[in-house]
Amino acid sequence: MNPYEREYFISRLRTGFYILSDGPTKIKLLAATIEQEYEVNEVYIDAYNSCVMDGILTEDEMQEWMIEEDLWSDEKEKQMEVAEKDIENLKVEVFQNRNKQTARDNSRKYLRRAEHALKNLRSEKEEFFLNTCEGIASTEKALKLFEICCFLDDEPYDFPNDNISTLYYSWLSTILREKQVRELARTDPWRSYWALKDSANLFANKNTELTIDQKNILIWSQMYDNIQESMNCPSESVIDDDDMLDGWMILQKRKNASDKAQAELESGLNSKVANSDEIFIVTDNVKDAETINSMNSVGSEQIKKERMAVIKRQGEAKDTDFRDQKIRISNMQNAQFKGNFGRG
């Protein structure tokens, strides 16, 4: 983004309104007030209840219908879950390969493909959403809020020819995307305004709710502050790369979850068990198994994979069949030998 583009977006964002064109007419879309938010939420509830009374399917019922009609399936639901996990893991790879350009570029390429696959799956799943009770109610709420927030010369705008929908979707296309917001949040001129937030007004719309763009830039500004204050804050090159930074944050989240789970586990074990090199825990559900598995270190996870490979190959295995145990026994024998030799 060029400096003049950042200047433009920040000035627009700080005003708290958007300027839209209805032909030659310039309309001002103001931020909603709390009362207007309440009013349109009433619109949503009324529309939703009316749809239910008319027998229109809810979102959950629509998904069941799609499965019955082979328009969606549990397999595609699993594909979405796999794609989401792949995206997380590929972002971690981008971060871990930050000093290896070829590997990093390859990880980023596969990341884009995974994101594209997930986007297609979501579009397929949500194809009929607008025809559900929730979809119809959401549309009515959004259009009503848009209508009451549009002004011409300080007067509510009288939309000609029922073109509210056209202008509404035109406005949606002007809302800043996440990548744009993140860049604005970590660069000037916004960073200068953000640094003075305690002594200057960030936004001009004091008596209305925050706009979508204002909410998003505040969230990311605070996020970048938290990252900068972290004890193991990443380098500027990582912070400036969205994929790398996401990978770093995912690793931090996993580490925190693992540390928390480890602390909770150890608090329920006696000292003898807690101090053991290895602890085997039986669980009866997938979620708990994933939590326990997250407590394994990278080295432990590799050992686990090697042991499972041995069991799969042999059908069964003894402790001494595992490579890590052979190395451990060998190291103990060497240490004992050195100790005996030293005493002689």
pLDDT at 335: 67
Instruction: Name the phi and psi angles at 3, rounded to 5.
Output: -55, -40
State how far the Cα of 247 lies from the Cα of 88, in Å rounded to an integer: 7
pLDDT at 310: 74
Any idea which of 80-89, 144-153, 236-245, 299-308 has the lowest mean pLDDT? 299-308
Sorting pLDDT into bands at 50, 70 and 90, what band is 71?
very high
Q: Are 95 and 248 in contact (CB under 8 A)?
A: yes
Sorting pLDDT into bands at 50, 70 and 90, what band is 145?
very high
pLDDT at 270: 65
- C-alpha torsion 79→82→88→90, nearest 10: -90
Sorting pLDDT into bands at 50, 70 and 90, what band is 35?
very high
Q: Is the pLDDT of residue 343 over 60?
A: no
Condensed to tens digits (0 to 9), the pLDDT of residues 238-296 reads 999 999 999 999 999 999 988 888 777 667 666 655 556 565 666 666 666 665 565 56
Beta bridge partners of 150: 29
- DSSP SS3 for 67: helix
Any idea which of 59-73, 95-109, 265-279 has the lowest mean pLDDT? 265-279
Instruction: Name the phi and psi angles at 58, rounded to 5.
Output: -80, 175
Condensed to tens digits (0 to 9), the pLDDT of residues 161-190 reads 778 999 999 999 999 999 999 999 999 999
Q: Are 299 and 305 in contact (CB under 8 A)?
A: no
Average pLDDT over residues 114-119: 97
Top pLDDT among 226 and 283 is at: 226
Q: Is the pLDDT of residue 141 over 80?
A: yes
Identify the H or E element spanning 146: helix 133-149
Average pLDDT of the chain to the nearest whole number: 88
Any idea which of 16-25, 29-38, 296-305, 313-322 has the lowest mean pLDDT? 296-305
Ordered by start, the domain boundaries in the chain are 32-71+128-174, 296-344
Condensed to tens digits (0 to 9), the pLDDT of residues 305-338 reads 777 777 778 777 776 777 777 777 777 667 666 6
Residue for token pair 């931090």: 252
Top pLDDT among 14 and 199 is at: 14
